[in-house]
Structure 1
Amino acid sequence: MIENTPKLFIPGPTEVDDRVRIAMAQRVIGHRTKEMTELYGGIVEKMQKLFNTDHYVFVFTSSGSAVMEGTIRNLAEKDVLHGACGAFSKRWYEMSLANEKNADLVWADWGKAVKPEMIADAMEKKKYELLAQIHNETSTGVKNPTDEIAKIAHENDTLIAIDTVSSLGGDMIDVNKYDVVIASSQKALALPPGLAVAIVSEEAMEKSKKTRNKGYYFDFVRMLKRFEKSQQHPTTPSVPLLYAMDVQLDIMLEEGMQARYERHLKMREIVHNWVKKRGFELFAEKGYESVTVTTITNTYGISIKELNEELVRRGLRISNGYGELKEKTFRIAHMGQLTPTDIMGLLDTIDEILEAKGVY
């Protein structure tokens, strides 16, 4: 058994409430039973209530990346436009290429946001079936203006799917403005890894019905048919993770999405104020900072690896920069079930470490 694991301030996986962990220890039920119908049907209903939508909700046993790829296969036979500004949104573009789609990329440089006019310019030149747009880029801490981008997509008769893997459940997102909203369990939803969510519009379902060669497991139509028949999955899901999601949704509903959003804003404010006070810099473009994760420029040139090793010895963990940003930046997640008190405790500990090293 792994013991003495540090408290996580990384952008996934995140901390899991003890009530959620205990729920996973229940006896497993059959996936073709009335108990499963009650469990999964209840989860879908709670998800729709939490995010104020009557769009279809599908919960897959998979990573968020898998549903990102599945969305491409459901909604595009040929032409896909990607709005990207970091490692994970670029990976979505690479998924389209791997599935032999005619994919084009609108790229905003590291730390910058994809602007609506960039998407509009690309759509003036070509007709697309699908716009795959990042909402919250975990590698750079950038939040993109997806509401405005969605308007442009729909004005051009193009479906829009957004990646909210690291923001849904923390940021305030009107899911009804999009055709597919994709999220993972292990980030702002504060669940263990292993589940992914797709919130799907009627227009997207109609497109999926007409799309060929979309595979089996992530077929939205197949998921809907089975749900309408029995409120179950076409294949066997992870029952313990569904137990966990059921309890976590109760926790989130009790808090309320507005209060949850305000808590996330407060945690971001604490981190941003610390960054400025200590002489670091925010990596994200001003006005486009993520609500759930802050990427910080390593202005002092310290060893992020060594800082994190010392934090782990003290029972805490943050994230180094991702990919080519490693050691150039570091990331502090303020998402899920973390509180302002947790964040202040982390920052005080970082101060102790850096002051002892004579950094400031």
Structure 2
Amino acid sequence: NGVYGERISRIASAYKFNKVELNYDWCERPDIKQIENTVSKDSDIEVVAMVHHETTTGLINPIHEVGAITKKYGRTFFLDSVSGLGGEEIDLANDNVDICICTANKCIQGLPGLSFVLLKQNEVDRMRNIPPRSLYFNVISQLDEQEQKGECPFTPSVHTFYAFEEALDELLEEGVQGRLSRYKKASSYLRKEFKRLNLDLLLPEELLSNTITALYLPENMTYAHLHDSLKERGFIIYAGQGELNKTIFRIANMGELTMDNLEALIANLQEVLSE
């Protein structure tokens, strides 16, 4: 139900995996009953993969419900939480997530360019019996090298690792719940102000994440004009993707953004809209 879910499908195709695709509108959550019906009737399905926070629209997918299905039928739950971990509620054990793909940037607030995987021990054991399809992206060789030698098997981006360590220290200092609370407060403020400025949300608020808000472009204003006008004032927004690229724009509140920053954004956005 978005660009990144579709990317998972493309990756599966690149590796020539047999797959069953369940496609949904980008503005809707997956149909839980359809997922369970599909999984229960097809014993060849070993892994269920989905995106946690689909930043195409800012939509949060129902990971707990899907995790309950994979546990019930003994399947592996593969979750892309690149834009979710650190910004959304997630409990890997309670949500029955077996493999979770994450990144150092986004809600962890480190630098892009470093990813990591959280996975259960039984998945590690299972992977040891599967011939690797990549030299560099071999989870087992990466894990063994780190556990046996305390290092990466190939030269890493060292400064990115140092930045990641600092970002994790800052997350622990703030506390995960503290960061979630800050993000919720920021997104709530922004959405209230967007409504005051007569900007329409793409999604109902109950579907939205804590960190991304997708909005319809104002009438008689192009994205290029809105983007460039805000950039001149020191603010960067992001375009819609795919079929939404001409109708919406997106604003994030990830990162070390203060309320002063957000209030300044709203003041400048109001100026641009009134020109």
**1:188 alignment partner, SS class:** helix
2:19 counterpart residue number: 103
One-letter amino acid of the counterpart of residue 176, structure 2: M
1:278 counterpart (197, 222, 229): 197
By how many angstroms is 1:301 displaced? 4.7
The question of whether the paired residues in 2 share the 8 Å contact of 1:167 and 1:291 is answered with no
The question of whether the paired residues in 1 share the 8 Å contact of 2:50 and 2:79 is answered with yes
* Distance in 2, Cα, partners of 1:214 & 1:171: 32
One-letter amino acid of the counterpart of residue 88, structure 1: Y
* Distance in 2, Cα, partners of 1:311 & 1:89: 30
- Identity, in percent, stands at 29
Q: Give runs of aligned pairs for residues 22-171 of structure 1, distance below 5 A.
A: 85-127=1-43, 128-171=45-88
Segments of structure 2 that go 5 or more residues without pairing to the other structure are none
One-letter amino acid of the counterpart of residue 161, structure 1: F
By how many angstroms is 1:281 displaced? 2.1
TM-score, normalized by length of structure 2? 0.93
The question of whether the paired residues in 2 share the 8 Å contact of 1:163 and 1:183 is answered with yes
The question of whether the paired residues in 2 share the 8 Å contact of 1:169 and 1:336 is answered with no
2:163 counterpart residue number: 244
**2:66 alignment partner, SS class:** helix
* Distance in 1, Cα, partners of 2:113 & 2:271: 36
**2:49 alignment partner, SS class:** strand
Matched, 1:223 2:139: no
By how many angstroms is 1:286 displaced? 4.6
TM-score, normalized by length of structure 1? 0.72
One-letter amino acid of the counterpart of residue 256, structure 1: G
1:221-272, Cα deviation, whole Å (9 max, x unpaired): 2122112212221222111111111111111111111100000001110122
2:270 counterpart residue number: 351
Q: Which structure ranks higher in relative contact order (CA pairs < 8 Å, sequence separation ≥ 6)?
A: 1
1:306 counterpart residue number: 225
Segments of structure 1 that go 5 or more residues without pairing to the other structure are 1-84
By how many angstroms is 1:184 displaced? 2.0
The question of whether the paired residues in 2 share the 8 Å contact of 1:274 and 1:347 is answered with yes
What is the count of residue pairs matched by the alignment? 272
1:140-187, Cα deviation, whole Å (9 max, x unpaired): 110001011111011111101111111212223213331111122231
2:115 counterpart residue number: 196
Matched, 1:182 2:101: yes
